[in-house]
């Protein structure tokens, strides 16, 4: 079952993503929404993101697809009217940090992010990705019943209940650590998996061997993540050495014990010093949990170092290499995306209340699809909840966008004649007449 999300129209036209339009000369304006203008170039760029089977044919279809761009501007108008610019400040800061890190890693640690075909082959062999398994799973609500079911299954007895069977699972995308352990077991092995107070009797039902060619995208993506993690650590070490970052061990012990005063110096470096209060404020800016600190001094020292580098050193490095200017063209587009997301949360998702019975019924109706995902426990529950929320959001979004169209009707003007000319030129270009 494929779920229709309310963002579908915006996603289809590439409006939810942050993609730059090609630099061209000014083009004719097809529509205006307040002070915003939608040009032929804007519309053409959006249409290029549609799959061939979705591209408009009748004029009414072209008009509906232009309406998706108009709706995006209406959402932005309403987001500004509700004062959501301030609400997305933290999300924008997080995006900028991520983009800086990606750009700096590519610039400074580029060689460590690449790999050879031999490395890929070795990683495939060492990771166990050449063996895939299928699982049979039986949910059981109570521990005693789960243990009894496990004993029966291990004795080879048939168990009544709603068994579900997964698709082929690979160790590289098993997701849950409890599922990952099953890749070491033989076919026929039965285990009891407890996750978040729920119980599953899980049997390894089948296995097969796959080649690197069979799962190359998965292996490449996993190795890329692994390389990026290693490069992150190496870059962290490089920056701490370059900026002479030193931690005060006595201050770390005080922080770990929860008795440190705000003015106690925690970090000394060529980039500046940091006290405990600076550290706490940085955690808030970085979106980290300031309440739970590691009690182990080494672990706390690593957390403090990462926070200091992220909050103090990386912005300096990005500015030094001119990376802030490179972000500017995408910053405005990302802000639009964050504004629409914030409005969506407030006006659509906030009005959806899900109870456990609804979530359970939705899961049972789509059990086979979720069985193929391999997710368990909280990960599975979160996925089911998101999907149900998106399904319930569709009619709410339809009503909400209709309200916005009515509210801002006087601010919307479509140049129907220019739209017709644009469609004619596109049709001619797609089906030229040969003389």
C-beta atoms surrounding 122 within 10 Å: 13
Q: To the nearest whole percent, how much of the chain has pLDDT over 70?
A: 88
Cα(155)–Cα(144) distance, rounded to whole angstroms? Answer: 17
Give me the pLDDT at residue 132, please: 93
* CA of residue 142 relative to chain centroid, distance: 34
pLDDT at 418: 92
CA–CA dist 132, 207 (Å, integer): 6
* Cα R_g (the chain), whole angstroms: 27
- Is the CB of residue 404 less than 8 Å from the CB of residue 340? no
Report which secondary-structure segment, H or E, holds 71. helix 59-81
Q: Which of 370, 380, 382 is nearest to 167 (CA)?
A: 370
Whether 301 contacts 314, CB under 8 Å: no
DSSP character at residue 309 = I
For the residues of 219-242, what is the DSSP string, one character each?
Answer: HHHHHHHHHHHHHHHHHHHHHHHH
The backbone torsions φ and ψ at residue 195, rounded to the nearest 5 degrees and listed phi first, read: -145, 120
Question: Which tens digit of pLDDT belongs to each residue from 48-82?
Answer: 887 665 555 788 888 989 999 999 999 999 999 99
Predicted confidence at residue 273, as pLDDT, reads 94
The DSSP element (H or E) to which 318 belongs, if any, is helix 314-320
Average predicted confidence (pLDDT) for the chain: 86
3-state DSSP assignment of residue 258: coil
CA distance 42 to 40: 5
Q: In angstroms, rounded to a whole number, what is the distance separating the alpha carbons of residues 38 and 65?
A: 12
Are the C-beta atoms of 140 and 149 separated by less than 8 Å?
yes
Gap between the Cα atoms of 271 and 312, Å rounded: 7
CA pair distance 255, 266, nearest whole angstrom: 9
Q: Above 60 in pLDDT, residue 235?
A: yes
pLDDT at 43 over 70: yes
Q: Are 189 and 204 in contact (CB under 8 A)?
A: yes
Helix or strand (DSSP H, E) at 139: strand 131-140
Name 39's bridge partners: 29
Q: Of 278, 268, 273, 276, nearest to 244 (Cα)?
A: 268
pLDDT tops 60 at residue 391: yes
Residues 196, 380 contacting (CB under 8 angstroms): no
Q: In what order do the strands lie in the sheet with 274-275?
A: 246-247, 265-268, 274-275
In this predicted structure, which of 1-10, 82-91, 148-157, 406-415 has the lowest mean pLDDT?
A: 1-10
pLDDT of residue 372: 65
Span 286-313, mean pLDDT? 88
Residue predicted with more confidence, 139 or 161: 139
* Element housing 412 (H / E): strand 412-414
- Say what the pTM is: 0.73
- Choice among 46-60, 112-126, 302-316, 336-350 with the minimum mean pLDDT: 46-60
* CA proximity to 97, closest of 279, 282, 225: 282
Q: Which residues contact 138 (CB under 8 A, 6 or more apart)?
A: 149, 153, 159, 161, 162, 163, 164, 200, 201, 202
Question: Nearest to residue 384, comparing CAs of 358, 405, 407, 404?
Answer: 358
CA–CA distance, 40 with 55 (Å, rounded to integer): 16
Q: Which pLDDT tens digit goes with each residue over 109-137? A: 999 999 999 999 999 999 999 999 988 88
Q: Return the pLDDT at 24.
A: 44
pLDDT at 219: 97
- Which helix or strand (DSSP H or E) is residue 275 part of? strand 274-275
What is the rounded distance in angstroms from the CA atom of residue 424 to the CA atom of residue 418? 10
Q: pLDDT at position 22, please? A: 47
Helix (H) or strand (E) holding 383: helix 377-407
Share of the chain above pLDDT 90, in %: 55
What pLDDT digit, counting tens, does each position of 182-218 carry? 888 899 888 888 876 778 888 899 999 999 999 999 9
Banded model confidence at residue 12, pLDDT cuts 50, 70, 90: very low
């Amino acid at each position: 079952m494929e779920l229709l999300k309310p963002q579908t129209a915006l996603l289809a036209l590439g409006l939810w993503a942050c993609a730059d339009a090609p630099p061209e000369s000014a083009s004719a304006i097809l529509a205006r929404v307040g002070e915003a203008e939608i040009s032929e170039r804007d519309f053409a760029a959006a249409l290029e993101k549609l799959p061939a089977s979705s591209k408009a044919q009748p004029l009414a279809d072209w008009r509906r697809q232009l309406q998706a761009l108009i709706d995006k501007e209406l959402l932005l108008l309403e987001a500004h009217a509700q004062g959501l610019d301030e609400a997305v400040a933290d999300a924008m800061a997080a995006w900028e940090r991520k983009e800086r890190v990606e750009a700096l890693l590519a610039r400074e640690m580029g060689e460590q992010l690449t790999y050879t075909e031999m490395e890929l082959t070795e990683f495939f062999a060492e990771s166990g990705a050449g063996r895939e398994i299928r699982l049979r799973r039986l949910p059981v609500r109570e521990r005693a019943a789960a243990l009894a079911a496990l004993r029966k299954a291990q004795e080879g007895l048939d168990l009544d209940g709603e068994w579900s069977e997964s698709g082929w699972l690979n160790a590289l995308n098993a997701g849950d650590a409890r599922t990952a352990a099953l890749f070491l077991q033989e076919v026929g092995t039965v285990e009891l998996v407890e996750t978040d107070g729920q119980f599953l009797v899980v049997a390894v039902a089948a296995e097969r061997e796959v080649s690197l060619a069979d799962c190359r995208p998965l292996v490449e993506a996993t190795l890329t993540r692994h390389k990026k993690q290693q490069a992150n650590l190496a870059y962290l070490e490089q920056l701490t050495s370059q900026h002479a970052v030193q931690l005060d061990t006595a201050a770390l012990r005080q922080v770990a014990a929860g008795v440190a005063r705000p003015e106690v110096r925690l970090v000394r470096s060529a980039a500046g010093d940091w006290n405990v209060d600076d550290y706490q404020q940085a955690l808030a800016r970085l979106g980290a949990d300031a309440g739970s600190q590691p009690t182990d001094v080494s672990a706390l020292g690593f957390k403090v170092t990462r926070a200091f580098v992220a909050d103090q050193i990386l912005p300096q490095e990005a500015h030094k290499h001119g990376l802030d200017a490179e972000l500017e063209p995408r910053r405005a587009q990302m802000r639009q995306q964050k504004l629409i997301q914030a409005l969506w949360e407030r006006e659509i998702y906030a009005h959806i209340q899900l109870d456990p019975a609804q979530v359970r019924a939705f899961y049972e109706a789509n059990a086979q699809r979720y069985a193929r995902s391999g997710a368990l426990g909280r990960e599975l529950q979160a996925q089911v909840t998101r999907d149900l929320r998106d399904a319930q959001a569709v009619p709410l979004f339809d009503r909400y966008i209709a309200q916005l169209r009515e509210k801002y009707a006087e601010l919307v003007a479509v140049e129907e004649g220019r739209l017709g000319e644009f469609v004619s030129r596109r049709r001619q270009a797609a089906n030229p007449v040969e003389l």
